[in-house]
Amino acid sequence: MPSGKQLDKIALTQPRYLQTLVENRRIYNLRNCELNIFESYEQAWRVPLTFHDMVITSMVQGKKVMHLFNDPAFDYLPGETVILPASETMVIDFPEASTATPTQCIALSVDKTYVNNTVNYLNEYYNSVRDEQQAWRLQFDQYHFANDYEISDLINKIIRVCSSPDRAKNIFADLNMKELLIRLIQCQHLRQVATETADDTNKTRLHYVLSYINEHISEKISVDVLCRKAYLSRNMFFRWFKEQCGVSPLEYINTERVKLAKQILADPRNNIKLASMLAGFSDVNYFVRVFRKIEGITPGAYQSCTTSPARII
């Protein structure tokens, strides 16, 4: 899995306050969520961990190996997030943990009623195309993914709020937690629709629009054409697309173009100008700015990293 946007560094627990060297835990309890910061300082295998509420975990540093849902084990690295339903046991290995290279991971457990109320709110107010209504929900079959900038920034904000002495932190945590849940649901929905589009481009108008975008990703894409494809006015189209996908049409198109550019740049024979052109960008400087905003590094740095794995950026 490509690495996503990493979380901000969190100060490690001072050695004299460690209660255990494996999954030492700091807890910040708020009204609707609980922030846990876990650290491990020695190797360990098959360590179980269970939360009684839905949990959002994200790696900060180090490496874990996760065993979930009887699926094959996978490496869990910084820049990645895992979400799990209530009472689902994680079984975790720490193959590289040491005092010099500890692992650190956050886990946000979220009250079940709070999650349900947020999902109900999203369904009631932001599912505007009634003839195609599909219930928004958290899907735990898509439980492991790379962070995008919005998700990592929201998790960073929640960590800062939960660990602050601010008397109003329950209010700020509530606002950021709602947005995080909605972002997660929208990202999952978009990935699901994109996957289904490959098999059935006419399932819904969203499938039809995304299929058209993907088929013409290297060409100029007119918003007016997309509006006609969706049978919506321009104003309605922008609102509908943002509600369905969590991003604007331009943000979606640019993200898909950057994905294509990354594939092109993986071949060291291709240069940045060629990648920009083949990915549908008419201006190289704009391509570089968009690429850096989405990936956190320039196209040139990305290509160097891809073709020279030993290099550290």
For 287-309, what is each residue's pLDDT tens digit? 999 998 877 778 988 787 664 43
Take residue 151 and report the two structure tokens written for it: 């998700």
Confidence (pLDDT) at 63? 96
Q: What angle do CA 201, 202, 206 make, to 5 degrees?
A: 85
201 shares its domain with 142? no
Confidence (pLDDT) at 202? 55
Confidence (pLDDT) at 309? 37
**C-alpha closest to that of 159 among 60, 64, 307, 282:** 60
Residue spans of alpha helices (H) in the chain: 112-125, 149-162, 169-197, 205-215, 223-230, 234-245, 249-265, 272-278, 284-295, 299-307
- Number of separate domains in the chain: 3
Q: Can you give the CATH number for the domain in which 33 is found?
A: 2.60.120.280
Confidence (pLDDT) at 108? 95
What is the full DSSP assignment across 136-203?
----TTS-EEE--HHHHHHHHHHHHHHTS--TTHHHHHHHHHHHHHHHHHHHHHHHHHHHHHTT-TTS
Take residue 283 and report the two structure tokens written for it: 């201006």
71 shares its domain with 152? yes
243 in a structural domain: no
Confidence (pLDDT) at 303? 81
Give the three-state DSSP class for 67.
strand
Take residue 265 and report the two structure tokens written for it: 């740049």
Backbone angles phi, psi at 200, to 5 degrees: -150, 95
105 shares its domain with 226? no
> Does the reported pTM lie above 0.85?
no
Q: Please tell me the number of Cα atoms within 13 Å of 50 on its side-chain side.
A: 7
- Find out whether 103 and 63 touch, Cβ atoms under 8 Å: yes
Confidence (pLDDT) at 199? 54
Beta partners for residue 110, in sequence order: 33, 54
Domain that holds residue 143: 15-186
Confidence (pLDDT) at 193? 65
DSSP character at residue 217:
T
Q: What angle do CA 190, 55, 52 make, to 5 degrees?
A: 140
170 shares its domain with 275? no
- Nearby residues of 312 by Cβ (< 8 Å), 6 or more positions away: none
**C-alpha closest to that of 147 among 231, 71, 225, 81:** 81
**205, 235, 265: which is the final residue of a domain?**
235
66 shares its domain with 112? yes
10 in a structural domain: no
Q: What gap in Å lies between CA 225 and CA 253, rounded to an integer?
A: 14
Confidence (pLDDT) at 186? 78
Confidence (pLDDT) at 42? 97
113 shares its domain with 211? no
Residues of the chain with confidence (pLDDT) below 50: 129-133, 307-313
